[in-house]
Amino acid sequence: MAPRQFTMLITVLVVTVTVASAKPMQARDEPTFCKGLDCPDFKPTGSGEDYEVRAYSSAKWVSTQVIDLSYDKAVKKDLNFCLKVPMTAPVTTRVIPAPGPACENNFTVSFFVPFADQDNPPMPSNDKVFIPHYKNSQLMSGWYRLVFVCLSFVYLFALLKVFHGFAKQEDWIANAEALKNSLANTTATYDKSFYYTAGYDSPFTIFSRHNEVWFFAT
């Protein structure tokens, strides 16, 4: 798919480039919730009573790390490094909740690298940038639109829950809790120390907004 003509300005404290191993991803028709943007390649591989399984191809992501009390402030904060990337979806955020209400949370915001740049993305120029490697992944998308994610040596597994509207911190937390409740009746095991949020829309999208929350399995 041709690269988009518009860009997002990302202002961050620490910038990293996340690179998946294995063969590069090829462009294809995105699902409707990607709304014409480049999205990670996946195919459905199975389903359960209240979830389906997606197999994701390896891909490269640009990631940023922010430490803050608030999710909303962390993803909007004007910090000391700027990076322009073409608009893609989803924008994911790994949330490591703080141990107490007055403590800072750890947020890692990631942007999918466009298909046109997957083979040869721009190299980081900041000394705080590094390139970790991840494997192919499988994603299980929840009937209730929540996400559960598992990480292993070969695959990244996730159960996901989708919800709609303008999502704020309380919405992500509520849906993450709903996912936990859904998983309580299954044999699935997952890492409860963090979860992922995934947003597919720009702030200017009013209708049909698509959001997901994920947990990594163990």
Question: Residue ranges of the domains in the chain?
Answer: 7-216
Q: What is the model's pLDDT at position 185?
A: 78
pLDDT of 143 strictly over 60? no
pLDDT of 137 strictly over 90? no
- What span, in angstroms and rounded, lies between the C-alpha atoms of 156 and 110? 16
For the chain, the 3-state helix, strand and coil shares in percent, each to the nearest 5, are 15, 40, 45
What kind of fold does domain 7-216 have according to CATH? Answer: Multidrug-efflux Transporter 1 Regulator Bmrr; Chain A (3.20.80)
Q: Which has the minimum average pLDDT: 4-8, 46-50, 107-111, 182-186?
A: 4-8
Q: What is the pTM of this model?
A: 0.71
Cβ within 8 Å of residue 61, ≥6 positions away: 17, 18, 19, 20, 92, 110, 111, 112, 113
pLDDT of 201 strictly over 90? yes
pLDDT of 199 strictly over 70? yes
Give mean pLDDT, residues 170-182: 88
pLDDT of 197 strictly over 90? yes
Q: Is the peptide bond before 90 cis (omega within 30 degrees of 0)?
A: yes
- What span, in angstroms and rounded, lies between the C-alpha atoms of 159 and 139? 6
Radius of gyration of the chain (CA): 16
Give mean pLDDT, residues 12-17: 39
Contact in structure between 62 and 83 (CB atoms under 8 Å): yes
- What span, in angstroms and rounded, lies between the C-alpha atoms of 203 and 135? 31
Which carries the bigger pLDDT value, residue 212 or residue 132? 212
Cβ within 8 Å of residue 156, ≥6 positions away: 56, 134, 135, 136, 137, 138, 139, 149, 150, 216
Give mean pLDDT, residues 105-109: 77
Which carries the bigger pLDDT value, residue 215 or residue 26? 215
pLDDT over 70 for what percent of the chain?
Answer: 53
Q: What is the mean pLDDT of the chain?
A: 67
Residue 18 has which token pair?
């996340």
Which residues sit opposite 122 in a β-bridge?
none
